[in-house]
Structure 1
Amino acid sequence: MESTDPVRVAAAGDRFVVPSLITAAIHHEMDEHPCEVRELALAEGAGDAEEELIKALADAEVLVTRGGPVTERVLAAAPELRLVVVCRGGPVNVDLDAAKAHGVRVCRAPGGEAAATAEFTLGLMLAALRRIPEAHAFLTRQGGWQGPASPTYEHAGPELEDLPVGLIGHGAVGSRVARALCAFGARVMVYDPYVRGEVHGLRIGSLDDLLRRSRVITLHAPLTSGTRGLIGARELAVLPRGAVVVNAADGELLDEDALCDALESGQLSAAALDTYAHEPLPPDSRLLALAPRLVLTPRLGGSSRAAAEKAAGIAAEEVGRWVRGEPPAHSLA
């Protein structure tokens, strides 16, 4: 699409990738091409989001959003729309079949959250190993520090240095976690049958072998039909007694009931989760009763300011390619 007419863009942000970030990224990318950006702040899960999006898309050629519901109804009401860019790795909010039927290209913005998720994974691991949330609660809620600190051997956690840590997956996030763990001096092992070439750490040929040799495992595999429930009761039983499990990837990789059983039996000494099979976490979830051995966070892994800025920038680059008539880098439909 090469034209001197202004490109009409709807920037439908949310509380994380805010509209102003999208607007700034688009203007930066399109500094030599005029564009008109209409901003819209969408509340996630709001019942009137479709209506708001339809109004914002009046005459728009491009939509950049993170979670806006790009449904058949929305697409049908936006005849000028030609490009949708989603500021996340997976366009779960877009009806891809309807987009194809309406001649709308759909692109995503992968990789923007990789560094943030890797850092958060390390934070979860350290919190579980060194019992940081438990210590915080002891000090602030129970008034536990009445004299000189004197932790017992039983309650002291292990160090990462020389600790055998197994990574399941060595992609954008897993490889970053592996590099950081190597810097800590951990004995890093990696199981990923799909990655070729060098890995950061010792490559292990089978999942069971990795589990047998790891005091900590951290999950970084993508969710597929083959990886759903990848770590269940059988796999947890293969781990050395007292092992630790960390998951900031996808909740459905892990059998949560089996995890609870393993924590209750002492097969696992601790675990840390940022993602869950059902989100938001139901109030009657067994997981909630297992603190402090279980560290829980509400899907914060990829939520850094830099991640939001990167997502907006990657999305804006796709808009720029479309305007210049170049092939997309991350097209889905």
Structure 2
Amino acid sequence: MICLHVPLTDRTGGEQSVAGEDRHNVVAAAASSNTVLVVEDGRLPARWPYLAERLREALTARGIAVRWESIPAGAHLRDLPSVAEVVALVVLGVEPEPADIDALPKLAMVAGVGGVGTAAAQRAGRAIACVDGGRGHCDSIAEMAIGLMLSALRQIPSWHLKMAYAGSVVGPLPQWQFADHPGFVNGTIRGKQIVVVGLDGVGAHIVELCDAFHASVAVFHPDAADVDFTVSGVERVDLDHIACHAEILVVPASSPEHRIPARVVDQLNHGTLVVTLASAGIDMPALRARVLSDELAWATDIDPNDPVRAGDPILGRQNVVHAPGIAGRTRDANRNVADVLAENIFRAVNGAPPWLWDCPPLPDASDREAPVQQVSHDVADDDSEEAKTDSDSRGGDDTGIPAPGLGPHDRGRAARGGSHCGSGSGEG
């Protein structure tokens, strides 16, 4: 499915773009050289074992010259020889300083994962586009949410452990036709009332997957436009009505604007299943209290920065399913992140702006140290309907570079101008 190619704005009202003459300056800079510099901190093989090979292959296949450098702690990107011709910079585990960006006069794009590289580029005071490869994590994280959901509904981990220790004798008798936990929501996803928090890349994909199971899905995302819900085909729900809509509540992200407060946790019906992929997305003390009181079921991919210690009473409970922060840490996610980076690098060196949905939101004006130039995603140099129709019919934009194959879950994040994929990214 192809996104509608119209000028889009972020929620602060600013266009996520380089307009007019600034855009043509970026195009000229990018067209002058096909030099791509990838810098990492020496730990890439351990942190991202499948990313490097995939990124090299993808760029080489597109005829793009790639330079790969490892920068140890204390060293500076600007001290590397012959960096003046670099058009696209990929930073993996290395945070560039403003002086590093200043040393790259032809730089058109900075790409990374988890916001790395964004701050220095946005404060450079010139037309440098920023790209985040986080879209590559979305499928793995969203599918993890479904896996946790199924595991909790059917008590799969509990049955597995019982059989591991005692064999099949612990199973239900052959004549018993019910084997789930009667105290909590159970059985199939089909027909369940599910509320997903956030209609970003991960949230939109979770919605799509739940819809495929024929669940009834609603979304809490207060700052999303009505068109986002129309395109995704889901019902909007406000904070005060989550409890009456949710047999299952899915919290995939840590956005402060979408955080589920204690009062809403306390309102959830007895037996509700809460699925979390980001601990900061919900009031954790309130959730733990109700889980420990056997009032709620909880399936979670624990945030690695919020570890559970041995002996914690939350462990070993029949109403809890745990995973150790693995949601986005798959070989597929490694490769998909590389593909997202390569896709946007290819655009940069061919004079095109990056895909809007891979651009981090611009900082608030109060946070900027210098004017931030923006990259235009207008479909053509004029606003005529004819120009827009021609661009859409190509399935790309006015550069002639086709858009990647987008599923329904990509359309929502395109309309919001960013790819924010929650926790479990593996970056860090």
Both structures adopt the same fold (TM-score exceeding 0.5):
yes
| 3-state DSSP of counterpart to 2:168 | coil
Q: Cα distance, 1:21 vs. partner?
A: 1.6
Alignment partner, residue 145 of structure 2: 121
CA distance in 2, matches of 1:188, 1:273: 20
| 3-state DSSP of counterpart to 2:135 | coil
The CA RMSD measured in Å over matched residues stands at: 3.4
Bigger relative contact order (CA 8 A; separation at least 6)? 2
Alignment partner, residue 266 of structure 1: 294
Alignment partner, residue 63 of structure 1: 89
CA distance in 2, matches of 1:275, 1:22: 29
CA distance in 2, matches of 1:101, 1:265: 52
Q: Cα distance, 1:50 vs. partner?
A: 5.0
Q: Cα distance, 1:267 vs. partner?
A: 1.9
Are the equivalent residues in 2 in contact too, given 1:321–1:328 (CA < 8 A)?
yes
Q: Structure 1 220/259 Cα, relative in aligned 2: closer, same or farther at 3 Å?
A: same
Q: Answer with 70-79 or 287-296: which moved more.
A: 70-79
Q: Cα distance, 1:253 vs. partner?
A: 0.9
TM-score, normalised via structure 2 length = 0.62
Q: Structure 1 315/241 Cα, relative in aligned 2: closer, same or farther at 3 Å?
A: same
Identity, in percent, stands at: 23
Unmatched tracts of structure 1, length 5 or more: 43-47
Alignment partner, residue 280 of structure 2: 252
1:107 partnered with 2:131: yes
| 3-state DSSP of counterpart to 2:290 | helix
Are the equivalent residues in 2 in contact too, given 1:170–1:195 (CA < 8 A)?
no
1:313 partnered with 2:342: no
Q: Structure 1 199/144 Cα, relative in aligned 2: closer, same or farther at 3 Å?
A: farther
Q: What residue identity is the alignment partner of 1:126?
A: L
Q: Cα distance, 1:242 vs. partner?
A: 0.9
Are the equivalent residues in 2 in contact too, given 1:188–1:200 (CA < 8 A)?
no
Q: Give runs of aligned pairs for residues 202-221 of structure 1, distance below 5 A.
A: 203-220=235-252
Alignment partner, residue 281 of structure 1: 307
Q: Cα distance, 1:211 vs. partner?
A: 1.6
Q: Cα distance, 1:175 vs. partner?
A: 2.5
For 1:37-85, what per-residue CA distance to the aligned partner results, in whole angstroms no more than 9, with x for missing partners? 3265x9xxxxx5454x74995434243234x121429827965783664
Alignment partner, residue 21 of structure 1: 54
Q: Structure 1 207/4 Cα, relative in aligned 2: closer, same or farther at 3 Å?
A: closer
Q: Cα distance, 1:295 vs. partner?
A: 1.8
Q: Cα distance, 1:138 vs. partner?
A: 1.1
Aligned match for 1:178, one of 185, 207, 211: 207
Are the equivalent residues in 1 in contact too, given 2:254–2:279 (CA < 8 A)?
no
CA distance in 1, matches of 2:80, 2:242: 50
Q: Give runs of aligned pairs for residues 296-311 of structure 1, distance below 5 A.
A: 296-311=322-337
CA distance in 1, matches of 2:180, 2:308: 33
Q: Structure 1 36/261 Cα, relative in aligned 2: closer, same or farther at 3 Å?
A: closer
Whose strand fraction is larger, Structure 1's or Structure 2's? 1
Q: Structure 1 326/79 Cα, relative in aligned 2: closer, same or farther at 3 Å?
A: closer
Q: What residue identity is the alignment partner of 1:163?
A: K
TM-score, normalised via structure 1 length = 0.78
Alignment partner, residue 24 of structure 2: none
Unmatched tracts of structure 2, length 5 or more: 1-28, 361-371, 373-428
Alignment partner, residue 37 of structure 1: 67
Are the equivalent residues in 2 in contact too, given 1:272–1:295 (CA < 8 A)?
yes
Q: What residue identity is the alignment partner of 2:117?
A: V
CA distance in 2, matches of 1:76, 1:294: 47
CA distance in 1, matches of 2:246, 2:192: 8
Q: Cα distance, 1:256 vs. partner?
A: 1.6
Q: Give runs of aligned pairs for residues 104-183 of structure 1, distance below 5 A.
A: 106-140=130-164, 142-146=165-169, 149-150=172-173, 155=181, 157-183=186-212
For 1:222-278, what per-residue CA distance to the aligned partner results, in whole angstroms no more than 9, with x for missing partners? 613x33xx2233112211101110012x3211122111101111220x2112253x7
Q: Answer with 256-265 or 184-193: which moved more.
A: 184-193
Q: Give runs of aligned pairs for residues 229-240 of structure 1, distance below 5 A.
A: 230-240=259-269
CA distance in 2, matches of 1:8, 1:154: 54
Q: Structure 1 58/131 Cα, relative in aligned 2: closer, same or farther at 3 Å?
A: farther
| 3-state DSSP of counterpart to 2:217 | strand
Q: Structure 1 10/147 Cα, relative in aligned 2: closer, same or farther at 3 Å?
A: closer
Q: Structure 1 161/81 Cα, relative in aligned 2: closer, same or farther at 3 Å?
A: same
CA distance in 1, matches of 2:171, 2:131: 57
CA distance in 2, matches of 1:282, 1:75: 39
Q: Structure 1 99/161 Cα, relative in aligned 2: closer, same or farther at 3 Å?
A: closer
CA distance in 1, matches of 2:181, 2:250: 22
For 1:206-230, what per-residue CA distance to the aligned partner results, in whole angstroms no more than 9, with x for missing partners? 2222322321111245613x33xx2
| 3-state DSSP of counterpart to 2:321 | strand
Q: Structure 1 139/195 Cα, relative in aligned 2: closer, same or farther at 3 Å?
A: farther
Alignment partner, residue 45 of structure 1: none
Are the equivalent residues in 2 in contact too, given 1:208–1:238 (CA < 8 A)?
no
